[in-house]
Every structure is written in structure tokens, then in C-alpha cells.
Amino acid sequence: MAIAGQFAVETPPHSIPATMQAAVYRGVNDIRLETVPVPKIGPGEMLIRVHSCGVCGTDLKKISTGSHSAPRIFGHETSGVVAAVGEGVRDYHPGDRVMVFHHIPCRQCFYCQNKTFAQCTTYKKVGCTAGFEPSGGGFAEYVRVMDWIVEHGTVRIPDGISFEQACFVEPVNTCMKGIDALRLRRGESVLAIGQGPIGIILSVLAKRTGATLITSDLYPERLRIGSSFGLDQTIDASRTNVVERVRELTEGRGADAVILAVGGNSLIRTAMDAARPGGRVLLFAQTQHGEALIDPAAVCVDEKTLVGSYSASVDLQEESVRFVMNREMDLERLVSHRFPLPQSPQALDLAAHPQPSSMKIMIQPGSIWTGSTREGNSQ
């Protein structure tokens, strides 16, 4: 079985080559298309032929900061087709369409018992690799999926659901975890700062709780995309003071909760100022350690709460799968650019320097073997 465009069709069996193409990280901002060995699998493991892999902001930070040693092959929002299974694998077979998580916790340690799964030692181990130090591996033609991920972190893609839609299961899970951490109540006002793909997903999930959403972004184009998902109360941050406008919309108080979905620390103070006394601020995209300007009296005297959320929750795995696979949100509409694997350096450069019209960037190794007509650089 192989893939034509986005969906499976019957074709002659596929032989696994000895080598493949991959986008290899060689140092700070240095990504090279290279020929590398196809990873070997062991008992309990699987080999996935990658169709699509979304570019995540955490990949970009690792590439731009040199926080991880080289060489590595990044990419963790991965979907594709099972190419081979190791001894003992019974639940999956070659030809199955799947997406894979790259982190799954042990569920038994102190951190798992306290529901802080991202701090679990097993969770910190990456269970998918295309070679070198395990780092996700989705920016390659094939990915080796290790046994604990095969058992607990592999999800079948239903008929009629595209590989691109399936790629969003992991990022949706991370967003659900963040929204849960905010403990929103029906009727509360929420400001979502940043309307990139993650900001829009967070906003839709927040609205799903019954909250009233206000969204802001520097790019009107992104606000228009958000509006197409029902996020109609918007603030053009390039022309309007966000804090003042939010207070106007909330009887002078400020938002009950603020979601900061923009990387870096520069907008933390804005987010805190936009929250009412006693309000909550979710820091979602601030994944780098470093100094940040925070008013301590806002926390103490104004009783505002800073909430952090990082990575996915295994407790939300089934809910995130249902949300994506039932198409409760048409996530494919967030994909603005699709690049075949040979153009992955350009894809990563665009993702690192987003334009007003650029949203989710997909790298599609599958375009090499499908002849897909959707492999161009824009939608």
C-alpha cells in the first residue's frame, strides 16, 4: 500500500531502500539536505515512511540557539505509513496510516503521579529517530518508532482524514493542556495574544469552554484567518493599544485570563497588564530560559496568577485524537505552505521568519514518493 496525495490506495508492495534523504542539523542555523542510512528497527519497533511533518516553534528554537548537539534530525509532528514492523508488533501492519507522538511518560514516577508528565525522565527520552541522537526525525523519509511509542504513542489515521490533519494531534494536545491549566469558566473574558496557528488553536479551544474570546495580532491577515474560525472580536495590535482596548471591552477591569501565544519574553508584561486583578496569564510559547520583565507587585498586590504549560499530556491523548480525527476543527486550513523534503532548508527559514501570510509550514517527504500535486510552496 502506498499513498496518492493525502489518502491510501492499493499499489504493489514497497521495498525499503538502504539510504534516504533527510534535513540534518549541523549547527546553529545550519540545516543540510543529506543522504543518510534508513534507520534499522528492533523487536517491538516500527519503521514509518513519512508523508508530512509540521514545523514546530520548538524545532526552530533548537536550530537557532544551538541548544542541542549536532548532528540531529528534527521534526516531531509526524504522520505517514507503516513501512515495516519489528518482531512482536501485533497491532500495526505495513500499509497502516498513522501519526506518532515522540514523547510518552512512564505514568509511574513522582512527576507522572503529580500529572507533570513533561518532567518525567521517560517522557524526556525521545522515542522517534531518523538517525543520530533521537530528535523526532520527521524531517526525513523514514522514522524509526521505538517500542514504548509503538505501544502507547501511535495513532491510526481513519479513512477520509488527511495526513496533514493528523499531524496536528500532538500540537492540539499541547494546546488542550494549556487551556486546562487556565481553568476557564463559562462567560469569562479571555485575551489571546498571537494568532499564528497555535494561537488560533488555543483560542478555539478556549472558546469551546464557553469563554468570550478577544484576539490580537500585529498582522491583520492572521486576524482574518482567525475570524474564519469564529474568532470575531479582534484587536489589530499594529494600530491599537491592546491593553487599553481590552479594558474598554471588559468594563475597565482587564481580561479574566490572558493567553500569550507568542515566543520570547517581550510581551509577558503586556499580557500581565491586560489581565484584571485576580486574573490568570498563561505563558505558552516561552520555552527558553532567560530573564524576563515581570512586575512582582502584579502577582502579590494585584493577585494575578502566572500559569505555565509545556508539551503534551498523556491524559489528553484520546481527547486530542477525537478532536482532530473528528474534524472538530478544520486544521488543514491553517497550513499555508507545503515544501517537499529537498526544500526543507527553505521551509525552516520561512517558519523562522514568518510573513503575514505564512501560518503552519509542512515539510512533506511523502511528496518524493507520491507525486503529489500539493507539494508546491504555497496553498
Residue spans per domain, the chain: 2-161+327-370, 176-308
What three-state secondary structure class fits 199? helix
In angstroms, rounded to a whole number, what is the distance separating the alpha carbons of residues 355 and 316?
A: 32
Here the cell at position 335 is: 497550513
Q: Which CATH number fits domain 176-308: 3.30.1390.20, 2.60.120.10, 3.30.70.330, 3.40.50.720?
A: 3.40.50.720
Q: What is the pTM of this model?
A: 0.93
CB 154 within 8 A of CB 98: yes
Query: According to the model, what pLDDT value does residue 368 have?
Result: 62
In angstroms, rounded to a whole number, what is the distance separating the alpha carbons of residues 136 and 105?
A: 16
CATH fold label, 2-161+327-370: Quinone Oxidoreductase; Chain A, domain 1 (3.90.180)
Counting as low any pLDDT under 70, the low residues of the chain are 1-14, 367-379
Query: According to the model, what pLDDT value does residue 12 have?
Result: 40
In angstroms, rounded to a whole number, what is the distance separating the alpha carbons of residues 215 and 236?
A: 9
Say whether the peptide bond before residue 43 is cis (omega within 30 degrees of 0). Answer: no
Instruction: Characterize 311-337 residue by residue with b for buried, 16 or more Cβ atoms within 10 angstroms of its Cβ, and e for exposed.
Output: bbbbbbbeebbebbbeeebebbbbbbb
Q: Which helix (H) or strand (E) holds 325?
A: helix 317-325
What three-state secondary structure class fits 231? coil
Residue type, 86: G
Give how far the C-alpha of residue 210 lies from the chain's centroid of Cα atoms, to the nearest Å.
24
Domain pair 2-161+327-370 / 176-308, same fold: no
Counts for the chain of helices (H) and strands (E), in that order: 14, 18
Rg (CA), the chain: 21
Q: At what angle do helices 317-325 and 169-182 cross, to 10 degrees?
A: 120
- Grid look-up 524509526 returns 144
Query: According to the model, what pLDDT value does residue 14 have?
Result: 64
Residue 270 CA: distances (Å) to CA of 242, 252, 254, 266: 8, 16, 11, 8
Parallel, antiparallel or unpaired: strands 142-145 and 154-156: unpaired
Considering only CA atoms, which of 74, 52, 66, 102 is closest in space to residue 361?
52
User: For residue 156, what are the β-bridge partners?
Assistant: 98
In angstroms, rounded to a whole number, what is the distance separating the alpha carbons of residues 214 and 245?
A: 10
Distance from the first to the final alpha carbon of the chain:
27
Considering only CA atoms, which of 278, 277, 275 is closest in space to residue 260?
275
Counting beta carbons within 10 angstroms of the beta carbon of residue 237, is it exposed (0 to 12), middle (13 to 18) or buried (19 or more)? buried
In angstroms, rounded to a whole number, what is the distance separating the alpha carbons of residues 256 and 187?
A: 10
In angstroms, rounded to a whole number, what is the distance separating the alpha carbons of residues 16 and 83?
A: 7
Instruction: Give alpha helix (H) positions in the chain.
Output: 57-65, 110-113, 121-124, 147-152, 163-166, 169-182, 197-208, 220-227, 242-249, 268-274, 296-300, 317-325, 344-352, 366-370
